[in-house]
Structure 1
Amino acid sequence: MPAVGADRDIVVSLRTLGDHVPEVATDGGPALPQLLEQGQAAMHALDFHLAAQHYCSAARQGSVDGQYRLGRLLLQQRSVPKAQAQGRFMLALAAQNGHAEALQFFDEPGLVPLDEQRPQCLPDPAAGSLEDRTEPVSHEVVKRYLDQLNRERRRWAQRVQERAPYYGVDPRLAVSIVRAESNFNPFAVSPKNAQGLMQLIPATAKRFGVRNLLDPQQNIEGGLAYLRWLLLRFDHDVVKTSAAYNAGEGAVDRHQGVPPFPETQAYVARILGFYLATRHQPPPAPQGKAAPLKTDRSSPRG
């Protein structure tokens, strides 16, 4: 990786800017654009610790730009070798998640950093401490978050909440998944051809009876059916379920937990950062006829 020649050495302490204790959001917290703006404002004020906290909070929520900015900031602590390693970790994470500027730092595409280089503020989603989280995010926090969405996206978020109980899925977990997948954009398409609100790939869509991936109603039904299938398969373990939703259940089986993929690890951290609990809390059975679960023995991902 080439050096960041235009950046000066930031000397703040022997600790790195990524070694602060991670914050656990309990009230919804600032939206990603606000975190990035606050980080930039702190940079202009030369408050590098505060900038690192804002950028790491954004990175924990899955912001690729937050990952990149934290990496660049850590690399500016040139007199602290640990910070250099952490900076490379963050830039590699951002590069693997498709950040164009981060990709320019690597001569070898696909470089995967060592996990011991992970900044303390970005905890490993496979760490045992996650098992202590028992209570999901409150319904009030979810409502406050959804109220910040524009009218169209809020409409689909409410639809997700309405339909989730018919599949035995906690609406709060369903919201967490869709938030991470598409941020409630029904026309989102990923570089890997995952499509729609719940970012279904064609094989998964076919398996769960979705004919039109960009039809929001069908996409929600198929995504919830797949999410229910994963929850049952992994005995309501949110860590393994969310990892499987991102990387496929085959990858989770092979690695006996969260795969060592930076993208998947960041994804799991983002789900837990919003849902909070590591065990799924099934909702009460809704009134009326339950939605059918369409499945077969084939593996839709991984």
Structure 2
Amino acid sequence: MLCAGAVISGFPERGWSQPPAVAYAEANHDIDESLRQKLLDNIAAADSFVDHYEAEAWLMLMAGRMERFVDNPDQRFALLRKIHSEARRAELAPELVLAVIEVESHFNHYAVSPVGAQGIMQVMPFWKNEIGRPEDNLIHLETNLRYGCTILKHYMDRSNGRLAEALARYNGSYGSYRYAAKVMDAWERWR
């Protein structure tokens, strides 16, 4: 794991005297120093990005968009890193996963639907028995993201990349595209 100093030291290679987040904070003095440090720490901890510049740009942009759902910056950055990592592992666009989560649970880790879907991505518990892991806790964030992203990727592959069809299958509403339309509308806001 890299420290924040390693992040900052990589910026001169790009011809910058300081990271863009630092320059932005200095130009806009209303940025909280502790928030700036949290961002630097989270960029350094992010392991699913091509480089630290991509991590900084994506985390800054998505953290601003996620603020209306998750107040605490520490929780926001940690959640974004986990979502990005699981989405990339499953070969999904992280912004699509963010859209699914927005529609499914509004980022509530403890959400349980009337039909029993659980967690941030609203995974149905029958999947645990289907794969022989009845002890898995679908409220656990990492477990829920792993299941949800894997299931969504499966439906993307099964639908030959047809997003509306894959989303309808994910939601269990195959044949109706109302849910898919909601997710695609949300995806526009995350891209």
More relative contact order, 1 or 2 (CA 8 Å, 6+ apart): 1
Q: CA deviation at 1:240?
A: 0.8
In structure 1, distance between residues paired with 2:167 and 2:146: 17
2:171 pairs with 233, 240, 246, which one?
246
In structure 2, distance between residues paired with 1:141 and 1:243: 28
- C-alpha distance after superposition, 1:136-194 (max 9, x if no partner): xxx57644312442227523243112221111111011111111111111111111111
Q: CA deviation at 1:207?
A: 3.4
2:87 pairs with 147, 164, 170, which one?
164
More helix by proportion, 1 or 2?
2
Paired AA for residue 185 in structure 2: G
Q: 1:147 to 1:245 in 2, by over 3 A?
A: same
Could you say which residue in structure 2 is the equivalent of 1:150? 71
Residue 216 of structure 1 pairs with residue 166 of structure 2: no
| Mapping 1:225-244, distance limit 5 Å | 225-244=150-169
Q: 1:146 to 1:246 in 2, by over 3 A?
A: same
Taking structure 1 as the reference length, what is the TM-score of the superposition?
A: 0.38
Could you say which residue in structure 2 is the equivalent of 1:194? 117
Q: 1:153 to 1:244 in 2, by over 3 A?
A: farther
- C-alpha distance after superposition, 1:37-65 (max 9, x if no partner): xxxxxxxxxxxxxxxxxxxxxxxxxxxxx
On the 8 A contact 2:123/2:138 being kept in 1, the answer is yes
Count of aligned pairs between the two proteins: 127
On the 8 A contact 1:205/1:222 being kept in 2, the answer is no
- C-alpha distance after superposition, 1:225-277 (max 9, x if no partner): 101101100111111111111125xxx3xx4xxx2xxxx61x2222111224x
Could you say which residue in structure 2 is the equivalent of 1:270? 182
On the 8 A contact 2:152/2:170 being kept in 1, the answer is yes
In structure 1, distance between residues paired with 2:164 and 2:139: 27
| Mapping 1:1-302, distance limit 5 Å | 142-148=62-68, 149-151=70-72, 154=76, 155-207=78-130, 209=133, 211-247=136-172, 252=174, 255=175, 259=176, 265=178, 267-276=179-188
In structure 1, distance between residues paired with 2:116 and 2:75: 21
In structure 2, distance between residues paired with 1:143 and 1:184: 13
On the 8 A contact 1:234/1:240 being kept in 2, the answer is yes
Paired AA for residue 91 in structure 2: G
The percent identity for this pair of structures is 23
Q: 1:142 to 1:241 in 2, by over 3 A?
A: farther
Could you say which residue in structure 2 is the equivalent of 1:110? none
Taking structure 2 as the reference length, what is the TM-score of the superposition?
A: 0.58
Q: 1:214 to 1:240 in 2, by over 3 A?
A: same
On the 8 A contact 1:243/1:268 being kept in 2, the answer is yes
Larger Rg: 1
Q: 1:158 to 1:270 in 2, by over 3 A?
A: farther
In structure 2, distance between residues paired with 1:233 and 1:189: 27
> Unaligned stretches of 5+ in structure 1?
1-138, 277-302
In structure 2, distance between residues paired with 1:205 and 1:223: 12
